[in-house]
Amino acid sequence: MKSKKIEVKKYEAWLSAETMHGHYLKWLSELEFAEDEQLFFNDLIDTYTLQLIDSKHFNESTEIINKLNALQKETKALINTVINHEKGLKIMVDGINQIPEENAYKDEHGKLIITISEFLKKYRTLKSQLFVLIKNIIKERKQKRLLSQKTKK
């Protein structure tokens, strides 16, 4: 049985400077929002620290917190990468034909499309895990409070 070689066409060759600038604005907005959101997550973790270090949730919460810390560093690095990438956009609009440099810029842009997309997927997954963990902790607190109120009566 012969395996067929599938050729993947590069679509970034058709990207205009305006389109790439639009990507930059969108990426920067999403990454800066994620950075702000991570501050909220830190406050949320601080609020529920005692419950998170409870033996029942300790392993899961430690894993999520470690991933969140790593994502915070990755977010800052991606913001810097995106800002630096945008500075290079001038090669596309300077009116000088520099085909190898322009192609290299487009290749870098294509790689950033994939990198940021993967980052955002990973980020959303972690965010969901954190919310589920906190939701379960809040439910447990409410159940304990209800039980303690019933026993007091």
Q: With 0-12 CB in 10 A as exposed, 13-18 as middle and 19+ as buried, what is 148? A: exposed
* pTM of the model as a whole: 0.81
Cα–Cα distances in angstroms (integers) from residue 59 to residues 53, 55, 65, 126, 142, in the given order: 8, 8, 10, 15, 22
Contacts of residue 24, Cβ cutoff 8 Å, sequence gap at least 6:
82, 85, 86, 89
Query: In 3D, which of 85, 65, 104, 98 has the Cα closest to residue 23?
Result: 85
Helix axes 17-47, 99-152, angle to 10 degrees: 20
pLDDT in tens, the chain (153 residues): 455 544 434 444 568 889 999 999 999 999 999 999 999 999 999 998 888 888 788 999 999 999 999 999 999 999 999 999 999 988 888 888 888 998 899 999 999 999 999 999 999 999 999 999 999 999 988 887 777 776 766
What is the spatial distance between Cα 65 and Cα 41, in angstroms, rounded to a whole number?
9
Q: What is the pLDDT of residue 144?
A: 77
How far apart are alpha carbons 89 and 20 in whole angstroms? 8
* Residue 10 near residue 110, CB atoms below 8 Å: yes
pLDDT of residue 105: 92
Q: Sign of the C-alpha dihedral, residues 141, 142, 143, 145? A: positive
